[in-house]
Amino acid sequence: MENYYNYIKSLHLIFVITWFSGLFYIVRLFVYQIEASQKASPEKEILQKQYKIMTYRLWYIITWPSAVLASIFAILLLYISPVWLQQSWMHVKLGFVFALYLYHLKCHQIFKQLQNDEVKHTSNFMRLWNEGATIILFAVVFLVILKNAVNWIYGVIGIILFSVIIMLGFKFYKKIRERNQS
């Protein structure tokens, strides 16, 4: 099994990338679905039908399989090299992976609601929600690269500050959009 470690690691990384890609894009599609629900007929029905197809395919053909395969390959890596489980940074990383699964499950709940034409969140909420996966991604990457249970905090603080700047920019852009629509 050790001879295949780098192959398994590569597959794990590929499916982590496709998992995050799916999570980033699904939330963007949620924004579009929510905004489509506010349009007039027949545009509303045409867009909603198309977005439902797109989100369904993305969710069940890319995002869920990627999450499962990334996890399977991660478990294989830990099986081959159980020494990683003795390192404190790995415990913190696994905590973020747990948070990622919670985020994923919440996205699944939102996906189901939107498939049933239940709009419980605003498009602005979804834009902010999308930052959750970004923060988790930054934390995990810093942990894996630095292999330090403390230094990753600086990277996460940086992304949170960056997120605040993005949110302020988003509010500014929203005001410009609203002014142009009036």
- For residue 133, the tally of other CB atoms under 10 A from its CB is 21
pLDDT at 69: 98
Measured N-to-C along each axis, helices 88-115 and 43-57 cross at an angle, to the nearest 10 degrees, of 140
pLDDT at 82: 93
- Cα–Cα distance list, 39 to 6, 67, 131, 145, 169 (Å): 50, 33, 26, 45, 25
- Domain residue limits, the chain: 2-181
Residues of the chain with pLDDT under 50: none
Handedness of CA 108, 113, 159, 153 (dihedral sign): negative
pLDDT at 131: 86
Rg (CA), the chain: 19
- For residue 169, the tally of other CB atoms under 10 A from its CB is 10
How far apart, in whole angstroms, are the C-alpha atoms of residue 38 and residue 34?
7
Longest dimension (CA), the chain: 64
pLDDT at 167: 78
pLDDT at 162: 79
pLDDT at 149: 63
pLDDT at 52: 97
Residue 12 labeled ligand binder: yes
